[in-house]
Amino acid sequence: MRPGLQNTTSPEGNIRHLVYLLENAILNLPEGQEQMSWLIDFNGWSLNTNVPIKTARDIIHILQNHYPERLAVVVLYSPPRIFEAFWKVVKYFVDQKTFQKIKFVYPNNKESLEVMKSFFNTENLPSEFGGKGTLKYDHEEFSRLMAQDDVKTAKFWGSDQSNECDNIKNITFPFFLYIYYGK
């Protein structure tokens, strides 16, 4: 994730998008793997791209209550200093077990960079995080993969939406989101 590239203003939309991505990540986990690692890159983050505390609290609530034990580790890469004050408020909403999985990594601190190597294969880790991998985001490719995942999700839930995946209304969102937002 890259909060510095945040360009939307809808907290509800952001949460729905996060859950959509989580569901697709779970759908694509290798057989027998239950957990995932998150790398959140704060380069480019500013007060203009800041997530409101209420939204952060809602995200934490959803992750802890609807995706327990799915998280192996969260690496916060290059968090801004102001984030430390934000973290002091938000951490009280985080379950202790989850709190221990959150790691701060600063690119100018060699010791904290070792944290990256302990959780990620450096062959796959993009070079901007100290690895050897190359990652170029291609929106068309991403959209194609998400459409394929929408078909897989629809089949999993017993719905034949394979011909209708271009229509955003047909994407299956987890039921708890409808309950959570009263829709």
- What Rg, from alpha-carbon coordinates, does the chain have? 17
If you average pLDDT over residues 52-60, what whole number do you get? 82
CA–CA dist 110, 114 (Å, integer): 7
pLDDT tens column, 117-163 = 898 888 988 888 888 888 787 889 988 988 888 888 888 777 655 45
Contact 43, 5 (CB under 8 A): no
- Quote the pLDDT of residue 175: 44
* CA torsion through residues 30, 32, 34, 40, sign: negative
pLDDT above 50 for 54 = yes
pLDDT tens column, 72-115 = 998 989 988 877 777 788 788 788 888 888 888 998 888 888 88
pLDDT above 90 for 35 = yes
More confident site: 15 or 56: 15
Burial letters for 68-83: b for 16+ Cβ neighbours within 10 Å, e otherwise? eeebebbbbbbbeeeb
Angle at CA of residue 19, ends 51 and 64, nearest 5°: 80
| Host H or E run for residue 169 | none
CA 67 to the chain's CA centroid? 12
Give alpha helix (H) positions in 75-121. Answer: 81-90, 96-99, 110-119
- Quote the pLDDT of residue 173: 46
- Quote the pLDDT of residue 4: 67
Q: Is residue 69 very low, low, confident or very high in pLDDT (cuts 50, 70, 90)? A: confident
Q: Superfamily for 3-16+33-135?
A: CRAL-TRIO lipid binding domain (3.40.525.10)
